[in-house]
Structures are given as C-alpha cells and as structure tokens.
Amino acid sequence: MVDIKSATGEKTNRFVLWALVTVFALPVVCSWILILNPGLLPARYSNHGVLIQPPVVLPAVTVHRIDGSAFSLAELHGKWTFLMAVDAACTESCKQLVHQLQQIRRATGKDRSHVELLVLYKTDPVKGDLSVVRENPGMLVAGFNDPEMDIMTATLLQAGVHERPGLVVVDPMGNMVMHYPYEVTAEDILKDIRRLLRATHDWLPDMTEKPDGSV
C-alpha cells in the first residue's frame, strides 16, 4: 500500500526545494536581463555606455606585463574589468582617462576589489610611455604582439571598438558587454559600474583587499 502521507511529504519537499532555488536564482537572472537589456529600465536607470549586443567573449590570450611576466586575460574572470586598448603611446587624453578610471575604482569603496583596470598596449608596453604607470599604481599594464595582436584587434572591432584609447567593460564571466565613447563623463561611468556591482554583488567571489590596495 502506498503511504499517501509519505508521498505527499516528498512532493512538498521537492516543491519547497524548487521554490528556494527560484527565489535565490531569480534576482541574478533578472539582473542580467536588465543589464543586457537596458531598454526595459526607466530612463534614469539606463546604461551610459554602448551595449555590445550580443556580448563578445574576451579571448583568453596571453599578454605580457611591463616586468616581462606572462598574464592570461582569463585571469580577469570573477571581476568587472575596465579594459583600455591603447596604441604604442598613451596620449594626454589617454592619461586623463586612466586617472579618472582609477578614481572611479576607488569610489566604489568596499567593492573596489571586484573592479579591475587593465591598460592594454598594442605593442610591448615597455616601448610605450610608462609615465601613466608611475602616476597610477595599482593597475594592470600589459602589451600584446603577433599573433595575439591580430586576435585582439579583430575582437575589439567585433565589439564595435574603433577608437584609441578604446574603453570596454568586461563582465565577471569574461564577456565584453559595453564600450564607452569619448564624450562620456566619469560620473556616468561610475553610475554604471555601481549599478553593475549591485546587480552581481551576491555571486561575485569574496575578495579581501590587501593593505597596498591589491587583492
């Protein structure tokens, strides 16, 4: 004989389990839907950057830091990243943008460890103007050469980034989701990154910031 109470209890437990999964997953799903579809939001909540639709995956190529050590772009996973693509020289406007991004990163407060800034030279970074590095410590600076240059150039073009410096937002899963035109303000970028951090706060990895500001 089937135990009706036992069967009913199992169904109830499964229902409760799926209800809990839905409750915890729904905010994350909704957040990503709104991030990738800002048209669903009221005007005052819309992104100020240009959405990359569909998102373009950042290639996991290996680049080199100014000290010569290798660095895979896949290591950026788990953080929101401002990726600045520059030519051999970082111009004055480029330096100003780097400084503003550093200020924006600091302004995120306790979420600073979830935001990375990568300046990516289209050459060996040692051959470029390193004053931007001395003036803005605490950021990643790397360069890429053939065949990585061809891969990165094609990827940036696919994402709609034609200007230099080109500023791209990379999500924690390694997708290039937004880029910014020259006329955007630091205040607008800060509003966007704060909104993105709030939307993904519950599932970003826990990172403890070190005394020197690194993680």
DSSP state letters, 28-59: HHHHHHHHH-GGGS-GGGS-SSEEEEEEEEPP
Residues 6+ positions from 116 with CB-CB distance below 8 Å: 76, 79, 80, 81, 82, 139, 140
Query: What letter does residue 123 receive in the DSSP assignment?
Result: S
> What pLDDT shows up at residue 45?
40
- Cα(61)–Cα(155) distance, integer angstroms: 11
Is residue 87 predicted with pLDDT exceeding 90?
no
Lowest mean pLDDT among 73-82, 84-93, 124-133, 147-156: 124-133
Which has the higher per-residue pLDDT, 206 or 188?
Answer: 188
Residue type, 160: G
Is residue 15 predicted with pLDDT exceeding 90?
no
Lowest mean pLDDT among 12-16, 63-67, 93-97, 197-201: 12-16
pLDDT tens-digit profile of 166-188?
A: 899 999 989 999 998 867 788 98
pLDDT tens-digit profile of 33-47?
A: 555 554 444 444 447
